[in-house]
Structure 1
Amino acid sequence: MTVAARKTTDFVARAREGWGEAPDWVIVLAEACATTTQAAVAKQLGYSASAISATLVNSYRGDVGEIAERVRGLLMAAEVECPRKGRMNRNTCLQWQAKPFAPTSSDRVAMFRACRSGCPHSKLKGA
């Protein structure tokens, strides 16, 4: 009995097919999927594998900008200047923005307020 070889996907080729002139972050995303697995990259980014697949072929109907920000932060080591904490990874910034209010520490309260009071990196609408 022979074991069939698993067909490998050329994620970069799929991205170029779907996007034509693919943005840099899409190529980085495709290369990351080729290095590990699409499911592993999706989990790291906080998305489903199907969302990442759709993004790679330019058919994702959700917030592509959010995926781009997460790719830049996690896979491209993009940094921002936080008004409260100084230089930080973009993904850390996004994680702080996503945290609900919790009076568990003065730092957490201060960050909650900072993310919602005109921070230029905040993605929160109407905050």
Structure 2
Amino acid sequence: MTQPDRMELLRSRCADLGQAEVARRLKYSPSAINQALKGTYKGDLFNLLTRVEEVFGSTIVDCPCLGKITLGKCAANRRLPFITVNPARVALWTACRACEEKQ
């Protein structure tokens, strides 16, 4: 998904849900969302729009451990801490570190 596509997805979700709800789901402040929409956001817009795609997008990635999953599920698994007592989590943690989807 391109940056303009992600921005359009952000605009669409804000129209549907409202800026405050979109901000809550993205874990950004409502003012950050407002600034991004106005084009005055001083933070890293790439990170914000990547989060938009993770939360609201329908991009499918091919995970070496889990198969075809959404980018949102990929990001959630990628952020899990390393835990040695679960072999599946060890495999996932190792695969996530080498994955090209890693941001």
TM-score (norm 1): 0.69
Could you tell me how far 1:120 is from its partner in structure 2? Answer: 0.9
Q: CA deviation at 1:38?
A: 0.7
1:65 maps to amino acid: F
Instruction: Give the gaps of 5 or more residues in structure 1.
Output: 1-21
| RCO higher in structure (CA 8 A, sep ≥6) | 2
The structure-2 alpha-carbon separation of the partners of 1:57 and 1:104, relative to structure 1 and needing over 3 Å to count, comes to farther
2:101 is the counterpart of 1:121: yes
Give the alignment's Cα RMSD to 1 decimal: 1.8
Matched AA of 2:63: C
Q: Does 1:102 align with 2:89?
A: no
Whole-angstrom CA distance in 2 between matches of 1:112 and 1:84: 10
Query: Deviation above 3 Å: which 4+ runs of structure 1?
Result: none
Gaps of 5+ in 2: none
Q: Which moved more, 1:48-57 or 1:65-74?
A: 65-74
Identity of aligned residues (%): 35
* Higher Rg: 1
Residue 92 (structure 1) aligned with residue 73 (structure 2): yes
Instruction: Show the 5 A alignment for 1:1-127.
Output: 23-116=4-97, 118-123=98-103
Matched length: 101
Deviations 1:46-75 (A, max 9, x none): 222122112112222323222222222332
Q: Which has the higher helix share?
A: 2
The amino acid of 2:83's aligned partner reads: A
Deviation at 1:35, TM superposition (A): 1.2
Q: What letter corresponds to residue 68 of structure 2 in structure 1?
A: R
